[in-house]
Amino acid sequence: MIPLRLTVNGMVREVLLEDPRVTLLDLLRERLHLTGSKKGCDRGQCGACTVLVDGRRINACLALAVSLDGASVTTIEGLADGDALHPVQAAFIAHDGFQCGFCTPGQIMSAVGLITEGQAGTDPERIREGMSGNLCRCGAYAGISEAVLAAQGAGDGAAMREDAA
């Protein structure tokens, strides 16, 4: 048994792993019952499993949970503040940044990371490039770019960067 301690969505979680090969995605979904992060390709190619680890975007399907001992993990379930949506979540709704919804949690987490990292800019092409690791089979890319632009507007990006620090 391998002891693992993570802070997940602000709550300290201690888990005993039976297998060192357990990915962060499987730990979140199967052991911690946080099913917002989706298992798409399981190869790091689609971005459906994107979460923030210590404020940085990662594909949870590629990260071994054991390598993240002591880390802080934020999933889609940890973004909202009670009933108040995170600005990126609200922007995705306002700008139709989703269709079927399967990729939406990963898209939102990637957008939060992109803004927090200060990499979004004001050019939709730059946003598309920064979000290129997150695929949407429905083709909601225009709404996704608009949502990211709206969420970071008027100082929201700076506030998100301060919150992540």
Amino acid sitting at position 40: G
* The pLDDT value given to residue 155: 42
Residue closest to 75 by CA, chosen among 57, 87, 93, 92: 57
Token pair listed for 104: 């939406």
- When pLDDT is averaged across residues 2-16 and rounded to a whole number, the result is 97
pLDDT of residue 77: 97
* Per-residue confidence (pLDDT) for residue 156, from 0 to 100: 43
pLDDT tops 90 at residue 54? yes
Closest residue by Cα to residue 113 from 161, 165, 60: 161
> Mean pLDDT across the chain, nearest whole number?
91
pTM: 0.89
CA 105 from chain center: how many Å? 6
Q: Is the pLDDT of residue 164 over 90?
A: no
